Amino acid sequence: MKNIVDTAVDAGNFKTLIKAVQEADLVDTLSGEGPFTVFAPTDEAFAKLPEGTIDDLLKNKEKLTDILTYHVVPDKVMSESVLNITKARTANGKEISINTSDGVKIDNANVTKTDIECSNGVIHVIDNVLIPK
């Protein structure tokens, strides 16, 4: 079984996320022991951001790291566990909200695929980039 980074690379629809993780020097962390739960925005999710946002973030490592670590929960949370919680503390220290009343929403993002198991955690695919409040 591959780690989170290798799994995301192999999936092929997380190119922007992988580039951002590389720019923020988080590859070693997310390839490490974990466990981690990553709410992974697809390339389509990144494309929804206002024009120029991604380029600006790639130039601002601190802000980029803040946003990326907001997508990571330092624990392995499978989809059946999500049904019993309404929030989770992320790796950047802030909380994401979890709403399961109509599908599963993490803040403003819909979870489109769940439980992609990796050697050091799990990936859940989301359709929007999460921005810390």
Cβ pair 93, 73 in contact under 8 A: no
Band the pLDDT of 84: cuts 50, 70, 90.
Answer: confident
Q: What is the pLDDT of residues 45-55, one digit of tens each?
A: 999 999 999 99
Over the chain, what is the mean pLDDT?
96
Using DSSP, state whether 100 is helix, strand or coil: coil
How deeply is 79 buried, as exposed, middle or buried, from its count of CB atoms within 10 A (0-12, 13-18, 19+)?
Answer: middle
Fold (topology level) of 4-126: FAS1 domain (2.30.180)
Region for residue 35 given its phi and psi (left: phi exceeds 0; alpha: psi -120 to 50; beta: otherwise):
beta
Residue closest to 41 by CA, chosen among 113, 92, 99, 121: 113
Global confidence as pTM:
0.96
